[in-house]
Amino acid sequence: EVQLVESGGGLVQPGGSLRLSCAASGFTFSSYWMHWVRQGPGKGLVWVSRIKNDGSYATYADSVKGRFTISRDNAKNTLYLQMNSLRAEDTAVYYCAREYLALADWGQGALVTVSS
């Protein structure tokens, strides 16, 4: 059974940093592209970033480019999202997702709140 478990969310002040983790199990992690998707409170889904299976290539939404960095450790079956220069509008539940067919598998999400 595919499992994706996010962690690392919490309350951070504007301008601060936070790193999310997504622990993967139940599939060969190193074979799949992975994504981060976020959802602000009461709002819709927003695609954030994707990373190639070997970690050699990544892309970002314009809204986070230059502030967020996606990475992965295939030896640890873990996906990361380093978030810097956080803004109030980054407040959201952050989901990691496996790219299979489309985004076939999702974690339960990690809540990030940016507030002073």
Closer CB to another protein, 2 or 15, in the complex: 2
State the minimum distance, in angstroms, from the CB of residue 79 to another protein. 15
State the minimum distance, in angstroms, from the CB of residue 71 to another protein. 16
DSSP of the chain, one letter per residue?
Answer: --EEEEE--EEE-TT--EEEEEEEESS-GGGS-EEEEEE-TT--EEEEEEE-TTSS-EEE-TTTTTTEEEEEETTTTEEEEEE-S--GGG-EEEEEEEEESEEEEE---EEEEE--
Closer CB to another protein, 14 or 26, in the complex: 26
Q: Which residues bind another protein (CB under 8 A)?
A: 35, 37, 44-47, 50, 57, 59, 61-63, 95, 101-104, 106-109
